[in-house]
Chains A and B, each alone.
Chain A
Amino acid sequence: MTHTSDQVTNRIKDMDAGVLHTRELNALLKNATADGTDKVILHNVCGQRYIGTGISKPVTIEVNGTPGNDLGSFLNGPTIIVHGNAQDGCGNTMNEGEIIVHGHAGDITGLSARGGRIFIREGVGYRAGIHMKEYGDKKPVIVIGGSAQDFFGEYMAGGIMVLLGLNIQKGDKHNTRYVGTGMHGGVIYLRGKIDADQLGKEVGSAELDQDDQRILKELVEQFSAYFDLDAYRIMNHDFTKLFPLYLRPYGRLYAY
């Protein structure tokens, strides 16, 4: 049964997601944040989708359990904190706000994101950051503590992705293949080793310059603060910068 606490203490509300359907949960969530509430804590979440969509306010939504696909899709302001794992499509086309996952995330994390930041403590599935884009001051960011599966940053068109690989054993390289296939914008900062044959054809690699270092340091510090990790030790390591070689890699493919 639904239980929405009537008493508002420090403008925090508790909500039992229990057996609520996706649509019911999101409607209740929207109502709950309509009155100036700062934070809603969801309990017993189990597969409900699109959590946090349609709320254009900087509220905090804490998720206890396993949220369903497309967590925070079209997110436009809220901060979502997940105590558990996220499924596929986390941060789908998000615009503003943050998603912080104390666990791993599934495939297509941050697909088509156009703003906001995603922090995943552990690893991600296939095609994280696929078709992320940026415009003007809108620059989406994805930081991943663990490792990624294949097609990391596929068709990436903008924004920043950081892959830390903190779970990789000393001396081992990243296991992800086809990194940045079709990439034509944005930048990837990768900590640790990766071979050239693991990269897409459209990707170049270089050492980080001072600007890169400054951007990366800020992101790693934010990431470390969220998960109580040691930013200095994380930064004290080799990084590689991956960038697109061409602005329009397929520009001549269909043109005469």
Chain B
Amino acid sequence: MENLNDLQNTYGSDKVIDACSIFGMMDTSGKRFPGDDIIKAIANLHVRGNGLGGGFAVYGLYPDYAEYYALHVMFLSNEGKTETESFLKDKFHLIDASEIKTRPLPCIIDPPQVWRYFLKINKYVSGVKADDDFVVDCVMEINTRIKDTFVFSSGKNMGIFKGVGYPEEIGRYFCLEEYEGYLWMAHGRYPTNSRGWWGGAHPFNILDWTVVHNGEISSYGTNRRYLEQFGYICTMETDTEVIAYAIDLLVRKHGLPVEMVASVFAAPFWDEIERKPHAEQEILRSLRQVYGSLLLNGPFTIIIAHEGEMIGLTDRIRLRPLTAATRGKMLYLSSEEAAIRAICPELDSVWIPLGGEPIIASLDKPFKAPVSISVSSRYKRGGKPHAD
């Protein structure tokens, strides 16, 4: 995407401040379900956004094409499309290409063309480079070099749908009730210091990793410069983008477990670290020393997803909200409890996680909600005398 700064960010500011709605739901048994529920849930949070961005991520989306990279691409012009398609044919085996189905709605104004490409790695082109690295390079090249073109989804068996509008409108526009996945995420945007545009809507994705975010990353400049050393180029002028790239770097390239990533992004304060057991102190100190430039400063709540896993995390002093809930095998993460109740009135457990504490839903590991002791059951009038 050329001349992004002139086109989208007339004030030349470094980042967009968001105050948004986020929602995630995952069936940890792997059962796939359609998008109706998440559209209803994110619509309940309507007032947290202002109609300048809405989007969804779906995992388990393309089981019939699970081994291919699925690119979702926006084109603002036919020239961009022609050039991109010839680029993709040069670099990959093109398995399938189709325009993503949309439903015309009066509230969706001037949408770009949105296409889906299933790609197989062509070893004669990618050579010794790891497949994922090669795809990242190609995504970066298209987004920075080819005019009017933006790749916004590049994983396998997953996909992003996003644009300018309220999220429930975007969901209907992309006919999301017709798709199924075991993990859905949604975002409603409230950009406050630059124009909302199709590429700037959440979620942000690179390869298998997707992020939705509510808040403002005041460390954006530091984070971006650090990531540039590893070949990640931020093209969206939106702070959330750095989170997606940082996770890709930490997990895929450096092999850190998710719990450690949480300690990098929302590192405990030094005095907190001093009160931890010795071995844990060593780890936390090392993480702060090595990855100090990836500390996310400022208020944030994020939901991160990749294949088989959904993670909710807030900043260490919880300046943005997050509520978690479970019902059977389903785990919900939301800006507000009401959005969860809107689609699942009866819940097994509802709680507000601590700042900096990751909530991890996984296909591999069963999720356990924290044990909560109810005040009413313990101190009931006329009940058994309590031990203390």
Which of A's residues lie within 8 Å of B, judged by CB? 22, 46-47, 49, 65-69, 85, 87-88, 102, 104, 106-107, 121-122, 125-126, 145-146, 149-151, 164, 166-170, 177, 197, 224, 227-230, 233-234, 237
Contact = CB atoms under 8 A, between A and B. Distances in A.
Q: How large is the interface on B (under 10, 10 to 19, 20 to 34, 35 or more residues)?
A: 35 or more
A96 to B, nearest CB: 26
Interface of B: 44-45, 47, 271-272, 275, 317-318, 321, 323, 336-339, 341-342, 350-352, 354-355, 372-376, 378-383, 385-388
A169 B386 CA distance: 11
A149 B351 CA distance: 12
B385 A122 contact: no
Chain B at the A interface: SS class: loop
Interface centre among B342, B350, B375, B387 (most CB of A within 10 A): B375
Contacts of A22: 47
A167 B318 contact: no
A46 B375 contact: no
Contact of B336 (A87, A167, A228): A87
Given A47-B341, A87-B338, A145-B379, 4 more contacts: A106-B352, A151-B317, A228-B376, A233-B385
Contacts, number: 104
Given A87-B336, A88-B321, A150-B355, A47 B44 contact: yes
A228 B381 contact: yes
Contacts of B272: 177
B167 to A, nearest CB: 15
A121 B374 CA distance: 9
A85 B375 contact: no
Nearest to B373: A167
Nearest to A229: B379
Count chain A CB atoms within 10 A of each CB in B272, B337, B355, B374 and give the residue with the most.
B337
Contacts of B317: 126, 150-151
B380 A167 contact: no
Contact of B318 (A149, A168, A197): A149
